[in-house]
Structure 1
């Protein structure tokens, strides 16, 4: 499968979502070019949406940066699982892959064959960011010139993750991760519905650690 074909499902989600972000960012009172700059420099999806009301409320940059750090802490686990696959040199390429590792990019990279070239990995990451920047630019320009509503586009994120879940399932080596995630979220929703996602992630990490420890030889565990 070509890189363009792989990133097409992401484009179908990123462009509408980026458009909504750019539109809301400009409607909050910011300049259109700042919306595009944030998608180039920050590129954090949910964190970018989060910073719109924070900027509108006049909160300091330090508070926004800290909130962004907390929201994106999950990317540390993504990065740790892919560090061995990323090129060590040139360092700029390695740094960009770490920077551009969104949820969707991680999903695509983990479904690619082990012998995938570093060039293809970079292309996947760059194309995904291009889709997001393109959507942001479109929304920012629309928001600067027109007063329209973009309601009805909120379904695209759920649709995007549904497509990525199917791709993960098709390339699976084991069904355990899916069942662990489903059971973890069900338990988390019953125990702490207001914090179900955080609790589910913690339960999934604990379950993955236990499963890996059981599969490892006794000597490696020691």
Structure 2
């Protein structure tokens, strides 16, 4: 008589708040910087808040401040935003199997797919519920909106400097990169990114980031994942 296999232990529930808190450590101060700069450029505080609610484009929002101050047309700003956020196309393609089926949830995740939200979503286990994925994205945007509101109010009431808070973005990317490394089966993607940026910086320093992204995409297209028989002893 064969023994009945023991049931597998239940998976530990996911705390979406704990997943979002590291993002908050970067988004709140950076959102404050954006709101502060937006108001200092002469725009009303409520317009900064609307930008973070309906645009939510991170670096493109910072780029938008001097362009609006210079009086550039909306079409030029939209084109520049498209170029800056073009990398999100590749993010979405790699998440097609994970995106929820429900249209409202799918479209919101497409809209809210920032670098940091993408990093968090890719570490979620298979079968994560739609509500949890949407909550993570919603919380991340909420931190950015909160920071924008605080910065806009401060910028409208006081003349202070927020210089130095932009380092929070570099620190946030470092934390997310470490988490990606810990959850990945191989460190190859990290080394591909590092080498790609080193090559791009040496050849095209003024366009290093865009060139590094292109090199990483090419490496991903031609990278052959080793079969299970090749990695098992």
Indicate the TM-score class for this superposition, using the shorter chain for normalisation.
over 0.9
1:58 CA displacement: 0.6
Match for residue 179 of structure 1 among 153, 168, 191: 191
Match for residue 15 of structure 1 among 21, 28, 40: 28
| Counterpart for residue 84 of structure 1 | 97
TM-score (norm 2): 0.90
* Runs of 4+ with deviation above 2 angstroms: none
Q: For 1:190 and 1:100, locate their aligned partners in 2 and report how far apart those are by CA, in whole Å.
A: 33
Match for residue 83 of structure 2 among 55, 62, 70: 70
Q: Which has the larger radius of gyration?
A: 2
| Equivalent pairs, count | 214
- Superposition pairs for residues 44-193 of structure 1, below 5 Å? 44-89=57-102, 91-193=103-205
Q: Deviations over 1:169-198 (max 9, x none)?
A: 110111110110111111111111111111
Q: For 1:215 and 1:53, locate their aligned partners in 2 and report how far apart those are by CA, in whole Å.
A: 48
Q: For 1:160 and 1:37, locate their aligned partners in 2 and report how far apart those are by CA, in whole Å.
A: 24
Q: For 1:154 and 1:63, locate their aligned partners in 2 and report how far apart those are by CA, in whole Å.
A: 25
| Counterpart for residue 219 of structure 1 | none
Find the residue that maps to 2:19 and give its secondary structure.
Answer: helix
Q: For 2:152 and 2:216, locate their aligned partners in 1 and report how far apart those are by CA, in whole Å.
A: 38
Q: For 1:37 and 1:7, locate their aligned partners in 2 and report how far apart those are by CA, in whole Å.
A: 22
| Counterpart for residue 203 of structure 1 | 215
Q: Deviations over 1:122-149 (max 9, x none)?
A: 0110000000000000000001111111
1:87 CA displacement: 1.5
Q: For 1:215 and 1:202, locate their aligned partners in 2 and report how far apart those are by CA, in whole Å.
A: 23
| Counterpart for residue 220 of structure 1 | none
TM-score (norm 1): 0.94
Find the residue that maps to 1:85 and give its secondary structure.
Answer: coil
Q: Which runs of 5+ in 1 are unaligned?
A: 217-222
1:215 CA displacement: 4.9
Cα RMSD, aligned residues only: 1.1
